[in-house]
Chain A
């Protein structure tokens, strides 16, 4: 090989692209006296699994309607505590925990009063008709912040997410009818709200009995009030759920139903309060969902009323509000598509 060749070919410097070099590149031909080593490229395939696509039939039995409905309920309820079900966000979980502690505040303070022997503290926070009412229908902080915020977070994406993601197709292309779908969504929300509102009432009542070792006479005296407070709490849960879900069903986003719910609950209360301040007519409170339920609750528990109009008006208003909300909810769900909306 001549020394003056300025060339590189196949990694070999000084090797001119001659016919011979081409021959070597192509066939590895030489004079037969080369060094007996060879460089080979390494395969990029280092092993793996061959994908074999094989159709596997399924011969199982499908369970009846109640099992399908249970799966919807389970999906929404277990999502609060477990992965793999409805992915509720961390703000809801945090808010639920905070509101639970707030809701149990009266029991904690009653316990404090009992432990330190201060009867005034116990009178303020222990079980009584007024405090049972206050546990479910007290305005601040429960119905001013806790319960509306939790409801807003719960209903925000409950039905609107199905519209936005098209997941309604997964429900309605299966043997789920719209009544069951609506009912299960409703019950899911109502159970979570119910656990927070009525469930903590039960804890409060039972906790007080255990804490103070109350006897039968006390139980007979307070149990009817407890049941009526639980009933008032259930009416609150139903009303908040029906209004909230109706708002969720008319939207494709989470923000609108949540904000609209807060606006309806707190806005109507504020408006009624301002009108009442000006004209001293409590009838305007009939537009406020919270106030109509609170008025019914006060009447059920035999407490002195904050409102000057008859409680039956509030009952009618509550029924009308729920009827309107359920009408909107069912008609919107009836129009949900299996194809894109």
Chain B
């Protein structure tokens, strides 16, 4: 109810579009970010291609290979660069004309270092609060609070230059949440962290979303991290939006049967392909796309025919990694893991993607 009242108050300030107020309130309740055919081009290069994005409240993962347009999208959403075509709203504010209002309400955690190494953590966080318009005394108090929250209570008077990677990441998070933003945009928040720091970072951002009731757009190349924190994903590729929605729903695109074969897996794979099933194979493990319930009998029939033993057969519960691989496969790429595309960038791509995706 409180959220609804706040949303309506926000809506009073809006001057964008001629959408009836009632509908706009409903949209705002659902989507913290919404774009309409958003396009950004740099000369002939199209960085964002007619993107219709909907990011709902809660945590959303932003995925995409290097050069997919993630950074351009974030900068456009922050109102720092002007879209070539199309429109967009963040928290109900127009990204073209109300960038300052958006940046007041957003916490942005950049991927790379953004803190002055010669300042103490508390001074840096306090200054970042003052830059938002906080009174110095309020910013000081809040800096102490957020530093305690991110686990830097005992290190708050240390110079940032002496921090470990994990502590520096935590300080960056503190900088971005000092004003308790409605939306946190975190770019690779677990970048360079060890297992313990990574777990802490993930649990912290999850708590911000679940207990704080805030929304988050988290760009990461670590599928496992995204899956832990986010319930929804947005996937970009070459400036196009290729998938968005609930992870669970997207996983339903392709249900697979996992088969552990023994003695003649290659023959079995061949036979299954011949019988019209789509097979992915890693050694003795085959994953077969489940067309219908008859797929089981087709597999057993193929195994009987080829003389291959089936040691184990069950419905496969796909991870986000699997989902990513399926999507990339559908786009015409041969990738063994998300690392191939997300870390090493465009050079590892096999350029035979469909023409509409600039392949």
Q: Tell me the A residues contacting B by CB distance below 8 Å.
A: 51, 53-60, 62-65, 67-68, 71-72, 74-75, 83-85, 87, 161, 165-177, 338-340
Contacts and interface: CB of A to CB of B under 8 A. Distances in A.
Contacts, number: 125
Given A53-B149, A339-B71, A167 B138 contact: no
Given A56-B149, A173-B110, A63 B135 contact: yes
Contacts of B111: 339-340
A178 to B, nearest CB: 9
B112 interface: yes
Interface of B: 71, 75, 78, 80, 99-101, 103-104, 106, 108, 110-120, 123, 126-128, 130-136, 138, 142, 145, 149, 151, 153, 175-176, 178-180, 187, 203-204, 207-208, 211-212
A52 B99 CA distance: 36
Given A67-B133, A175-B133, A53 B204 contact: yes
A174 B132 contact: yes
A167 B207 CA distance: 27
Given A56-B145, A166-B113, A68 B180 contact: no
Given A75-B127, A166-B112, A340-B112, A62 B119 contact: no
A63 B113 contact: no
A68 B106 CA distance: 16
Given A55-B207, A63-B133, A170-B127, 8 more contacts: A55-B212, A60-B134, A165-B113, A166-B112, A166-B113, A173-B78, A175-B99, A339-B187
Contacts of B128: 170, 174
A185 to B, nearest CB: 13
B145 A87 contact: no
Contacts of A169: 108, 110, 112, 114
Given A53-B151, A165-B116, A169-B114, A75 B130 contact: yes
Contact of A166 (B71, B110, B118, B136): B110
B56 to A, nearest CB: 20
- Which of B100, B133, B136, B149: most chain A CB closer than 10 A? B133
Contacts of B127: 71, 75, 85, 170
Given A55-B208, A339-B110, A87 B119 contact: yes
A175 B128 CA distance: 11
Nearest to B70: A339
15 contacts: A53-B203, A54-B149, A55-B207, A56-B145, A58-B178, A63-B133, A84-B120, A87-B116, A165-B114, A167-B116, A169-B110, A169-B112, A175-B104, A339-B187, A340-B111
B160 to A, nearest CB: 9
Given A53-B207, A87-B118, A175-B103, A62 B110 contact: no
Contacts of A72: 131
B265 to A, nearest CB: 45
Contact of B103 (A54, A174, A339): A174
B100 A175 contact: yes
Given A62-B179, A174-B132, A55 B211 contact: yes
A71 B114 contact: no
A87 to B, nearest CB: 4
Contacts of B180: 57-59
Contacts of B153: 51
Given A338-B108, A339-B111, A172 B80 contact: yes
Given A56-B149, A57-B212, A58-B142, A167 B131 contact: no
A261 B100 CA distance: 35
B192 to A, nearest CB: 13
A68 B134 CA distance: 8
Q: 10 nearest interchain CB pairs?
A: A71-B130, A62-B133, A58-B180, A340-B112, A173-B108, A63-B133, A169-B114, A175-B100, A87-B118, A166-B114
B103 A51 contact: no
A173 B106 CA distance: 8
Nearest to B181: A58
A130 B126 CA distance: 48
Nearest to A72: B131
Given A55-B207, A60-B138, A339-B110, A170 B71 contact: no
Contacts of A60: 134, 138, 142, 179
A338 B116 contact: no
Contacts of A176: 131
A71 B131 contact: yes
A72 B132 CA distance: 11
Nearest to A162: B116
Nearest to B110: A169
A338 B72 CA distance: 11
Contacts of B134: 60, 62-63
A339 to B, nearest CB: 6
Contact of A338 (B75, B118, B126, B179): B75
Given A57-B212, A87-B118, A165-B116, A170 B131 contact: yes
